[in-house]
Amino acid sequence: MAKRNSKFSVSVWEWIRVQGASPKQRIRFLIWATILVVAVAFAYFVLTAPGFLTLNNAINMSQRSAPDIILAVAQTMVILTGGIDLSVGAVAAFSGSLAAVAFCYWNIPIWPAILLSLLAGAALGAVSGLIITKGGVPDFIATLGTMTTIRGLALILTGGLPVPSHVTAVTLKAYLPPEIIWLGNGFILGIPSSILISLIFVGIGWLILTRTMFGRSIFAVGGNKTAAAISGINVQRTKTLTYVLSGLLAALAGVILTGRMNSANALMADGAELQSIASVVIGGTNLFGGEGGVIGSFFGAIIMAILRNVLNLQNVHDFAQKVFMGLMIIGVVLFDQLRRRYGR
């Protein structure tokens, strides 16, 4: 308390002291004060960003965030069991590519092609899950491995080219059909269809977690594996199923992403796994499992989307954006730790 620069902070500090606050209360006050300051700064940058408060921007932003929200729902399930799924971005890229390749090259009609890609996503999730539960490989390492493998498979599948691409366009179907584009870019009653789909899946995720036996098992496994097992819950099956679900949702996100971009490629959804983990953590889910939910993750994903959008509108350089995002993730988790330690 030796050095205080401005008169204002001195008087605030005096005020806290005069109020006879305990050290814990002071830290709690500081935490809330910081949250307030950050929120005000955030609001300032948001509201002064050129073109932020336009309908166009809102539509653009919600279309961009839709796949991220679905990935955040997937990641929430996995993290709640105490696991982590680093492969969601790769699965999204692979599944989106698979749908496009199946339609453009293999002449499979679009809906069966999408179904195929969703099943492939679920299957890839099952592989990760089984490596973890049956093989005893730690979640982090297992999905780190499947992440790289699946990216490689996606590259092989697409030959490293966008699908459809100018090279293949001459001989094969040159464009994706309107159905898949509608998933990514369409509207229902003036609202982007992709954001509606993602909201539906937030709702489904909430239902699963709070109102089903499977959801309860997820919390039990993440809270205490031993206690869950002794209470008759099949820990391995629960974990494997969350990875299957995560793969399925990641595939759906990949299909929507493909529709939005009007093209698929093996490298899309780059870094999506970290985005999704950040959304989950910002949303208040415990990284060690057992506590949290999808509603928080939804808002986490929205905050991330707004931030990205505002950085773009404020003309922050792409490279600097990465630095900013990384620091923000660390800052949020750090803050969360402080809050857990002193907040209550």
Note the residues at the interface with other proteins (CB under 8 A). Answer: 22-24, 211-214, 216-217, 219-220, 223-224, 226-234, 290-291, 344
Residue with smaller CB distance to other proteins, 71 or 218: 218
Residue with smaller CB distance to other proteins, 228 or 329: 228
Coil/strand/helix, residue 197: helix
Interatomic CA distance for residues 156 and 124, integer angstroms:
16
Interatomic CA distance for residues 53 and 39, integer angstroms:
17
Coil/strand/helix, residue 192: strand
Close Cβ partners of 337 (under 8 Å, ≥ 6 residues apart):
none
**Per-residue buried b or exposed e for 103-115, using 16+ beta carbons within 10 Å of the residue's own CB:** bbbeebebeebbe
Q: Smallest gap, in angstroms, from Cβ of residue 31 to other proteins?
A: 17
Residue with smaller CB distance to other proteins, 173 or 237: 237
Amino acid making up residue 189:
L
Q: Smallest gap, in angstroms, from Cβ of residue 221 to other proteins?
A: 10
Q: Smallest gap, in angstroms, from Cβ of residue 10 to other proteins?
A: 25
Q: Smallest gap, in angstroms, from Cβ of residue 263 to other proteins?
A: 39
Close Cβ partners of 321 (under 8 Å, ≥ 6 residues apart):
308, 311, 312
Coil/strand/helix, residue 233: coil
Residue with smaller CB distance to other proteins, 234 or 312: 234
Q: Smallest gap, in angstroms, from Cβ of residue 244 to other proteins?
A: 16
Q: Smallest gap, in angstroms, from Cβ of residue 233 to other proteins?
A: 7
Tokens 């509207």 belong to which residue?
187
Residue 170, phi then psi, degrees to nearest 5: -65, -45
Close Cβ partners of 9 (under 8 Å, ≥ 6 residues apart):
none
**What distance, in Å, lies between the first and last C-alpha atoms of the chain?**
24
Residue with smaller CB distance to other proteins, 106 or 288: 288
Q: Smallest gap, in angstroms, from Cβ of residue 340 to other proteins?
A: 12
